[in-house]
Amino acid sequence: MTHTAPHILYEDNHCLAACKPPGLLTQGVPEGIVTLESLVKDYLRQRHGKAGRVYLGIPHRLDRPVSGVVLFARQTKSAQRLAEQFQQRQVAKVYWALVQGHVEPAEGVWEDWLLKMPEEARSAVATPDTAGSKPAVTA
């Protein structure tokens, strides 16, 4: 997968919002894996002429297969405040899905069981009786 410069939607001294394309990790371990975080850090180094390390706080993430907007904090105080807002559910999130055909009901709650696959840096749908699986609910 080829990665280009990130699409920046908003930037100020406190935070930065960037589009995350599907298939790209928000952040990664080990170092050297291309992630949205590494692309945004490269963008900030170039934009602001920084040679050293660039701080980015990540108060939330998006799963690898999905696209969407990721909000980064550019200062530790901003990261703390944003993390609190996400933890206290003060941030409104909207999830969209593209489907084929007519889906009933038109809205509701999606429930599944997921199993982390750390060797692949992803999760897979599982059954409730699969060892290590955990419930996942999206409302």
Number of domains in the chain: 2
Tokens (6 digits) for 38: 């590494």
CA-CA distance, 34 to 126, in Å (whole number)?
Answer: 28
Query: What number is the average pLDDT over the span 77-91?
Result: 94
CATH number, domain with residue 24: 3.30.2350.10
Indicate whether 33 and 77 sit together in one domain: yes
Tokens (6 digits) for 52: 């050293």
Which of 12, 42, 63, 129 is the catalytic position? 63
In the chain, pLDDT over 90 holds for what percent of residues? 60
Q: How many helices (H) and strands (E) does the chain have?
A: 2, 6
* Single pTM value for the model: 0.76
CA-CA distance, 52 to 73, in Å (whole number)?
Answer: 18
**pLDDT score, position 28:** 78
Indicate whether 38 and 71 sit together in one domain: yes
Handedness of CA 29, 31, 34, 40 (dihedral sign): positive
Higher local confidence (pLDDT), 37 or 32: 37
**pLDDT score, position 2:** 60
Q: Is 113 helix (H, G, I), strand (E, B) or coil?
A: strand
Does residue 63 carry a catalytic annotation?
A: yes
Indicate whether 79 and 38 sit together in one domain: yes
| Containing structural domain, residue 65 | 8-87
